[in-house]
Amino acid sequence: MSDLNKLGLAEARDALRAGDVTSVELTESCLKAIDDADALNAFVHKTPEIALERAKAADERIKAGDAPSMCGLPIGIKDLFCTKGVPSQAASKILEGFKPEYESTVSQQLADSGAVMLGKLNMDEFAMGSSNETSVYGNAVSPWRRGNDDAQLTPGGSSGGSASAVAADLCLAATGTDTGGSIRQPAAFVGITGIKPTYGRCSRWGIVAFASSLDQAGPMTKNVRDAAIMLEAMCGHDPKDSTSTELAVPNFEAMLTGDIKGKKIGIPKEYRMDGMPAEIEKLWAEGAEMLKAAGAEIVDISLPHTKYALPTYYVIAPAEASSNLARYDGVRYGRRAQLAQGDGITEMYEKTRAEGFGHEVQRRVMIGTYVLSAGFYDAYYNRARKVRTLIKKDFEDVFAAGIDAILTPATPSASFGLGEMTEADPVQMYLNDVFTVTVNLAGLPGISVPAGLDQQGLPLGLQLIGRPWEEGDLLNTAYALESAGGFVAKPGKWW
């Protein structure tokens, strides 16, 4: 077999078990692809020794007939996950040199399921960004281009390295995390599948915290079946995360029947925004038609507080970030600024944090500090938490009325050029998450599925939002959409 790195998880799993290929062969193929793709800047810490060691162990297990679900499958891990003995920097200068003495629960579960870690993936600093332009490692680059134009495009963010690596076949799949859309927006930008599960499905333990009431990990994969396989390996109760749920994890892959007859799919009118490109509008209508043709009932619904989701998010996420990022003080881990003669502990904190945090992170920490400060707590933070209750209730109401899933565009545009948004004010960049952020605020599962190409030949995605804890049903609806859409486009190799 050639080009083994181009396989998906399910295909590779079946080939491994049939004895057609070994994990070492798969892993070597990915390692070579990674070394050839430095121009994408997706893998920022490569771990070939760990990869080959795990691949050999996986081959032994397969030979012995003792192969767990992801045995021998090479994947990439977002830099936000703490990985024992391997740099884990959250793409920040402040965590330079940090090598955790422990492993995150999710990456440990993946290792236990036999997955092979190829290395750590680029991202926006502390997962704050929508274009992977805030990383200390520099920009991750999308493998896609606008026709013959050689301008570099963003793979989206914050899981930009994960998106770029999966789309460019540097790995079979990758982990991502999603606080406001950081799995689904990059997945849509590069034509892959990404799911954020219900809040509480995946343990947050060992994942560098951004906004704890919004953060969830999830898989970024080449298709919906692969997402089902990898999500199952990532989920499950963890006593080390007090918000992790004790619900049993179903066999998601077994739920992919493609049968969605009688399912009610909601189309929320508030997601039809002024100035939305006609191509996105068309893609959305086509998606609804495909689901209808597969036997689903399409229902117009209203989520009246949608408009307030982004401003709510930009109070709650920075508030939680300012609290979570208080731990970076130059004392316990990472990097401490060079101090001048006579500098005390306050100067140490202030210089360390000024040098260690990038501009966007500083801005969000300070906004969070402001909205939590005495005199403004009620006006901003408490008000936002009340509006969040209303946003969640919008979804509860439509689900109570019998809606099974909600179909929306994944992003308001296709990928844009790196540097194109530099002059825009921060709010313009925040608008990237307009369709995804509601899902985090309500704690719901959401999946982005590639659905078409725009006039410039760039991928566009559709998002499906499901009922809490019903990722299996959501994946099945996504599977039906994927089957009907038949998206197969891949970027041409230029790197």
Report the site for other proteins in 310-329 (rule: CB under 8 A). Answer: 310-312, 314-315, 322, 326, 329
**Does residue 365 bind other proteins (CB under 8 A)?**
yes
- Residue among 146 and 363 whose Cβ is closer to other proteins: 363
In the 8-state DSSP scheme, what is residue 247?
A: P
- Residue among 60 and 360 whose Cβ is closer to other proteins: 360
Contacts for 316 with CB less than 8 Å, ≥ 6 apart:
211, 213, 214, 381, 384, 385, 388, 441
CA distance 330 to 318: 21
Beta strands in 42-142 (DSSP E): 43-46, 74-78, 116-121
**Does residue 424 bind other proteins (CB under 8 A)?**
no
**Does residue 300 bind other proteins (CB under 8 A)?**
no
Q: Which of 474, 417, 424, 425 is nearest to 445 (CA)?
A: 474
Binding to other proteins (CB under 8 A) within 127-186 occurs at none
Asked if 284 and 307 touch (Cβ cutoff 8 Å), the reply is: no
Q: Binding segment for other proteins among 58-66, 131-139, 308-316, 410-418 (CB under 8 A)?
A: 308-316
**Least distance from other proteins to the Cβ atom of residue 133, Å:** 16
**Does residue 334 bind other proteins (CB under 8 A)?**
yes
Binding to other proteins (CB under 8 A) within 434-453 occurs at 443
Asked if 139 and 485 touch (Cβ cutoff 8 Å), the reply is: no
**Least distance from other proteins to the Cβ atom of residue 7, Å:** 36
**Does residue 353 bind other proteins (CB under 8 A)?**
yes
**One residue of 236, 330, 446, 472 binding other proteins per CB under 8 A:** 330
Contacts for 123 with CB less than 8 Å, ≥ 6 apart:
78, 79, 80, 90, 91, 132, 135, 140, 157, 158, 159, 160, 161, 162
**Does residue 425 bind other proteins (CB under 8 A)?**
yes
**One residue of 6, 61, 363, 490 binding other proteins per CB under 8 A:** 363
**One residue of 47, 245, 436, 438 binding other proteins per CB under 8 A:** 245
- Residue among 177 and 415 whose Cβ is closer to other proteins: 177
**Does residue 392 bind other proteins (CB under 8 A)?**
yes
Q: For the chain, how many residues are written?
A: 495
**Does residue 413 bind other proteins (CB under 8 A)?**
no
Helix, strand, coil: what percent of the chain each, to 5?
40, 15, 45
**Least distance from other proteins to the Cβ atom of residue 399, Å:** 14
CA distance 434 to 455: 22
Binding to other proteins (CB under 8 A) within 224-243 occurs at 239, 242-243
**Which of the residues are catalytic?**
78, 158, 182
**Does residue 97 bind other proteins (CB under 8 A)?**
yes
**One residue of 151, 254, 285, 354 binding other proteins per CB under 8 A:** 354
Binding to other proteins (CB under 8 A) within 207-226 occurs at 213
What is the residue whose two structure tokens read 């999710």?
Answer: 106
Q: How many CB atoms lie within 10 A of CB 50?
A: 18
**One residue of 148, 257, 346, 422 binding other proteins per CB under 8 A:** 346
What is the total count of residues that contact other proteins (CB under 8 A)? 71
Asked if 161 and 141 touch (Cβ cutoff 8 Å), the reply is: no
**Least distance from other proteins to the Cβ atom of residue 131, Å:** 17
**One residue of 262, 344, 400, 488 binding other proteins per CB under 8 A:** 344
Q: And the tokens for 272?
A: 């039809």
- Residue among 76 and 200 whose Cβ is closer to other proteins: 200
Burial of 161 (0-12, 13-18, 19+ CB in 10 A): buried
- Residue among 174 and 434 whose Cβ is closer to other proteins: 434
Contacts for 389 with CB less than 8 Å, ≥ 6 apart:
none
Q: Binding segment for other proteins among 28-36, 106-114, 188-196, 355-363 (CB under 8 A)?
A: 355-363
Type and span of the H or E element at 55? helix 48-63
- Residue among 160 and 368 whose Cβ is closer to other proteins: 368
**Does residue 339 bind other proteins (CB under 8 A)?**
yes
Q: Which of 365, 444, 486 is nearest to 184 (CA)?
A: 444
Asked if 457 and 289 touch (Cβ cutoff 8 Å), the reply is: no
**Least distance from other proteins to the Cβ atom of residue 382, Å:** 5
